[in-house]
Each structure stands twice: as structure tokens, then as C-alpha cells.
Amino acid sequence: MKITVLGSGTSQGIPIVGCSCAACTSSNSKDKRLRVSVYIETDAPPALSPLERAGLPAGSTAQAGVGLKILIDTSPDFRQQMLVNNITDIDAVLYTHYHVDHIMGLDDIRQINQLHRKSIDIYGNAETIEVIRRSFSYIFDPKTYKGGGIPHVNTKVITLDKFNIGHAEITPIEYFHGPTTVFGYRIGDFAYMTDCSSIPEKEFGKLKNLKVLVLDALRYRKHETHFSFDEAIEAAQRIKAEKTYFTHMTHDIVHDEANVKLPEDIELAYDGLSFVIPAQAGI
């Protein structure tokens, strides 16, 4: 399973328009942060069972034994992220929550529809799917012309129950972003938890024995709806993934200065970071 960080920045992105701070004027590419998203590519299992094949999105490349391609969130920078990372196929989208910096690139899914002549399944909790359907009402309006000008997606409301996309078992993780309920996701030995200010006690059991965790860490100072660095370090040390990467960072964070101050098993994510996790049961 290969994971690529498409964006590691806060809702404004870095650099921020009109800002002359150290991060925004940095020449280090790791200080250039698009809005948060990750792309997951899994190897196909040796052979797909009829049940696994039936559970794949129609037209999925995984039906041909190529493996699954899963996106988490469609940021406003999604088109740019596809171009920069040469992403030309997606089988499904997992949504963490309905805030603008996580959903507003949805319209660009239509490029995948056109390339592969398939619709895309999109997953989220009931509130997230409701807001998406309202925010992109033209997609779901039966009066809208259904040609190439709109995305072709199938909304899938999920709960905290595990579910499968083809051969990949997905475990939703519920936590809070201030007053907003967010779903993180565990796939195999990888978990992704952006926009987090508190994790319910009952959810920690889903986070045991991770190889890699990507976790929200907004800035040094405390914030009402995000983990600060100290809070994120505390959570990461409790979860005890072999490696933790911080994401959703503001321009308060200069990559090289901040990275050297972190514990040995924690690093800052950056746009374009990719890593491979060996396949385990459930992936």
C-alpha cells in the first residue's frame, strides 16, 4: 500500500496571500502546502473472489487486478494535486467531514469520469453526505444535463461499522474538530486523522499496532478546533504508531525548524511525501 500526501496545509494553504512571514516566503518546497488530502494505492490481491469483485465500484481498475486507488477528501486544490502527482484514476473517495477545504474540489472528479467512463463512489457520515448533496446540488438535480459537465458520483452514507471497498477493509474512526464530528480512517496498518481536537476514549482501541499515522497538528499555540503540536505529540505517543506524520499545518510552522524538535518517531508531513506500507490482513 502506497500513500502519497497531496496536501499538508491548513484551510488557507501556504503561502497565504499577502503574507511575508518566514514560512510563506520560504524557498523550501516543504513549506509550500496545499490543502490537506492523501491518495492511497493498494496492490491487488493474488486473485479477486467473485464477492470482492462484486463489491468494487463499476469500472474500477481493481476489477482488472490492478489494485485500488482511494482518495481521502477533495480539497480546493484537487485539480492541481492530480496534475502534480500524475493521478489519473480513482476508485473511491472517503470524506472526513464537510468543511470547504475538504470537499470543494469534488467537481474535478469529472475528469476521472471522462477518462475511465465510470462513476465514483463517495463515502462519508450522514451529515457530510447531506452537506455535499446540498453544496453540489446541480450534481444530484434530475433536471441537470448529465453530460461531461458534472461529476458522476454515487453517495454512500457510512456509520462507525467497518466496510469494504473491494478487498480493502475500512475502519471509520470518530473524533471531534471542535463541535464538528469527523471521520478518520484506518486501512490496514495506516490511519489518517486530520482536523482533530479530541479523540473519544472508545476510539483508541481502533488505533493499535499502526505502522503509520497521519495526524492533525495545526501550530504551536493552542487552538479550539485542532491539536496544537504538544497535544498532537501527546496523542501520538499514546497511539504508538511506528511512525507519525503531522499534517494540516499553518504558516506558523517552518518545516526544517520544527522538524528537528520533534520526537524521533514523529515527523512533519509535506506535499509529495510518499511511503509504502507492507500489506496486512484486511488490505
Weakest mean pLDDT among 13-27, 36-50, 100-114: 36-50
pLDDT at 32 over 70: yes
> What is the predicted pLDDT for the residue at 97?
98
Task: Return the HEC string of 89-135.
Answer: CCCEEECCCCCHHHHCCHHHHHHHHHHHCCCEEEEECHHHHHHHHHH
> What is the predicted pLDDT for the residue at 56?
64
How far, in Å, CA of 256 to CA of 239, rounded?
Answer: 25
Confidence band for 150, pLDDT divided at 50, 70 and 90: very high
Confidence band for 146, pLDDT divided at 50, 70 and 90: confident
Question: From the centroid of its chain, how far is CA 29?
Answer: 21
Grid coordinates representing 255?
518545516
Rounded average pLDDT over 247-256:
98
Whether the CB-CB separation of 61 and 92 falls below 8 Å is answered with no
How far, in Å, CA of 15 to CA of 27, rounded?
Answer: 11
pLDDT at 156 over 70: yes
How far, in Å, CA of 178 to CA of 111, rounded?
Answer: 34
Q: Assign 150 to helix, strand or coil.
A: coil
Nearest 5 degrees, angle CA 177-CA 183-CA 188? 135
> What is the predicted pLDDT for the residue at 143?
87
User: How big is the chain by its Cα radius of gyration, in Å?
Assistant: 18
Domain ranges of the chain: 2-276
> What is the predicted pLDDT for the residue at 64?
52
Confidence band for 282, pLDDT divided at 50, 70 and 90: very low
Which residue do the cell numbers 477545504 mark?
A: 101
Whether the CB-CB separation of 103 and 73 falls below 8 Å is answered with yes
Rounded average pLDDT over 85-100:
97
The CATH number of the domain covering residues in 2-276:
3.60.15.10
> What is the predicted pLDDT for the residue at 57?
63
pLDDT at 44 over 90: no
Q: Assign 64 to helix, strand or coil.
A: helix
Rounded average pLDDT over 206-220:
98
pLDDT at 196 over 80: yes
pLDDT digits (tens, 9 = 90+) for 49-81: 565 566 666 666 555 556 899 999 999 999 999
The residues near 215 (Cβ < 8 Å, ≥ 6 apart) are 193, 194, 196, 227, 232, 235, 236, 244, 245, 246, 247
pLDDT at 28 over 90: yes
Task: Please give the mean pLDDT across all residues of the chain.
Answer: 93
